[in-house]
A and B are shown apart, each in its own frame.
Chain A
Amino acid sequence: MLRAENLSKRFGGLHAVQNVSFTHYGGEILAVIGPNGAGKTTLLNLLSGVYRPSTGRLWLQQEDITDAPMERRCHAGLGRAFQIVRPFPEMTVHENVTVGALFGQRGMRLPQARERAYDLLERTGLAAHADRAAHELTLLQDKRLEVARALATQPCVLLLDEVMAGLRPAEAQEAVELVRGVRDSGISILFIEHIMPVVRDLADRVVVMDQGQVLAEGTYREVTANPQVVAAYLGTEAGLHA
């Protein structure tokens, strides 16, 4: 579904991402992990269109989106939730989601988008907060909003950038359920995550990055058993299961 072929991104002399290739299949939850500075966020920015790759190609479904601007990627079916939540602060929660519903797909009309936004607020457990100002939400609610808004664009692939960051364990568990629910509705998910239990619980497949390159790829069990991963990623096996 989402296919990267030899993606590279250089910032001056720094190879932030180097020859990364992977295929993300439909209905799959794919995790990208790696130590700090491994190039995960740069990769996500290449996928979502914040950066253009120095070399390499990127396909979504059959469409080459390597040079597509962010809004065209969105229309093609790529959704993104940010690590640092970015609600539109002067809008209500419902209006925030309406923006995604209204512009995520071409030809959407306002009443339709409003209705869709309400449905998504119900699905993400935010219905009771629909008319509150977006800046009044708690962090978990903010993350829900971030996901609801991305879902409103009707993506086939959803990119999640460390959505669990800053959540308490109980909240993270709720967020895990939310992400599973999204996948069960037929949307494939690619996520970046630091918290290993979350990766273990969610990911069907894991891509491990180190120094801008793909170090290993496989199930959680496979990659965590890989000595190279253990050495490069956390140094000790104990740390990996912490």
Chain B
Amino acid sequence: MSAVSVRPTPARRPTFAWRALLALGIFFVLALAFPFLPLGDRREFLLQIGFFTLVAGIMALSWDLLARSGQVSLAHAAFYGLGAYGYALLLKAGLPWEAAMPLAALGAGFISLLLGAVTMRLSGMYFAIATLAFTEVVRTVIQNLPESVAGGANGLLVPALLGGNSRGQYLLALALLLLTVGVSLAVRLSKLHHAFAAIRQGEETARVLGVSVVRYKLAAFFLSSVLAALAGVLYAGKTFFISPLDTFSLANSISPLTTSIFGGLYTTLGPILGATVLRVAEELLHNTVKNGYLVVYGLVLMLSILWLPRGIVGLWRRGRQGGDL
């Protein structure tokens, strides 16, 4: 190895985005401290906003994982809903929640592999439309199952997660976001990152260079959908009522997409920051501009995407190539 070090080449080590890791660390410390702060009489409300911010973070990051492999999906509502319904039905079948949660997520993961296999040859717009259609199919199937099975259009009651303990629920969501971040970082530092990026930036070239595109695309599908389904489980356990229209709503597919773009695509930090900023902004706007807050919200989103094409994290990684987390 000594011969290597004398060669006049640039540093032979991967550049490492310490700043991104530091920011992630700060985020988790603050997020962990949040439910222990004296939040006053609005505690329940604030914890609920916090909870759904974490869920939005899981959704956005899981969407980004799939997008890294070049697959811009509109099926995230389906994965979310499959998680929510899978969880509710497994609880109904008598499983404890600790078992129902991972099983529902894995179930959604395996169903996503079917979608992934079918959409393998599609790209861009066609892929997006196919995933959108998939969401509709899943919703329609669940809605038209006998009411005794999945509640039909009327929806389904779900026992509250952790007996309705808000702080406990929040901490569980935080743990699952931490898991999602762990998966994202593991992907970033592994072979998968190179495979995903290569497929996204030139699928045929990637294949010529030996990348088994089918295998890696399906891996992205599986990871992404399992995490999105966990977000769905959290949602079901928090709201203790799920219906096909709400759960499979297009908004659940679109907002992870906008959140990731807003925060910074193909990064770990971006989607989480995006989720935090957008959720907080949404609540603030909701309180200040009561009527038409969605218009202002949409405007803010549009302008920021125009001005920050690389998202919030783009603010401090200007012009940098590679090494980003």
Contacts of B4 in A (CB 8 A): 115
| Min C-beta distance of A135 to chain B, whole Å | 9
| Min C-beta distance of A69 to chain B, whole Å | 7
Q: Is A127 an interface residue (CB 8 A)?
A: yes
Given A71-B213, A86-B202, A122-B7, verify A99-B207 contact (CB < 8 Å).
Answer: no
| Min C-beta distance of B264 to chain A, whole Å | 13
Within 56-87 of A, Cβ neighbours of B (below 8 Å) are at 69-71, 74-75, 80, 82, 86
Q: Is A28 an interface residue (CB 8 A)?
A: no
Name the CB-closest residue of A to B319. Answer: A133
Q: Is A220 an interface residue (CB 8 A)?
A: no
Q: Is B239 an interface residue (CB 8 A)?
A: no
Once the chains bind, are A74 and B209 in contact (CB under 8 Å)? yes
Separation of A121 and B10 alpha carbons in the complex (Å): 11
Within 206-222 of B, Cβ neighbours of A (below 8 Å) are at 206-213
Other-chain residue from B190, B195, B205, B321 in contact with A132 (beta carbon distance below 8 A): B321
Q: Is B308 an interface residue (CB 8 A)?
A: no
Other-chain residue from B7, B12, B322 in contact with A95 (beta carbon distance below 8 A): B322
Q: Is A89 an interface residue (CB 8 A)?
A: yes
| Min C-beta distance of B282 to chain A, whole Å | 31
Given A99-B206, A103-B210, verify A90-B198 contact (CB < 8 Å).
Answer: no
Once the chains bind, are A88 and B321 in contact (CB under 8 Å)? no
Number of interface residues of B (CB under 8 A): 28
Q: Is A177 an interface residue (CB 8 A)?
A: no
Once the chains bind, are A100 and B321 in contact (CB under 8 Å)? no
0/1 string, B1-38, CB within 8 A of A gives 1: 00010011110101100000000000000000000000
Q: Is A9 an interface residue (CB 8 A)?
A: no
Q: Is B194 an interface residue (CB 8 A)?
A: yes
Once the chains bind, are A99 and B212 in contact (CB under 8 Å)? no
Given A69-B207, A103-B195, verify A88-B201 contact (CB < 8 Å).
Answer: yes
Q: Is B191 an interface residue (CB 8 A)?
A: yes
Once the chains bind, are B12 and A114 in contact (CB under 8 Å)? yes
Q: Is B44 an interface residue (CB 8 A)?
A: no
Q: Is B283 an interface residue (CB 8 A)?
A: no
| Min C-beta distance of A109 to chain B, whole Å | 8
Once the chains bind, are A99 and B208 in contact (CB under 8 Å)? no
Separation of A118 and B191 alpha carbons in the complex (Å): 17
| Min C-beta distance of A80 to chain B, whole Å | 5
Contacts of A152 in B (CB 8 A): 209
| Min C-beta distance of B287 to chain A, whole Å | 40
| Min C-beta distance of B76 to chain A, whole Å | 23
Within 109-143 of A, Cβ neighbours of B (below 8 Å) are at 110, 114-115, 118, 121-122, 127-128, 130-133
Q: Is A19 an interface residue (CB 8 A)?
A: no
Contacts of A149 in B (CB 8 A): 209
| Min C-beta distance of B293 to chain A, whole Å | 36
B interface list, Cβ under 8 A from A: 4, 7-10, 12, 14-15, 190-191, 194-195, 197-198, 201-202, 204-213, 321-322
Pairs A–B under 8 Å by Cβ, sample size 28: A48-B208, A70-B207, A71-B211, A71-B212, A74-B207, A90-B197, A91-B322, A95-B194, A95-B322, A99-B195, A99-B197, A99-B198, A99-B211, A102-B194, A103-B198, A103-B211, A104-B209, A104-B210, A110-B190, A115-B4, A115-B12, A122-B7, A127-B7, A127-B9, A131-B321, A133-B321, A150-B209, A153-B209
Ranked nearest first, the 3 interchain pairs of A and B with the lowest CB-CB distance are: A74-B210, A103-B210, A88-B201
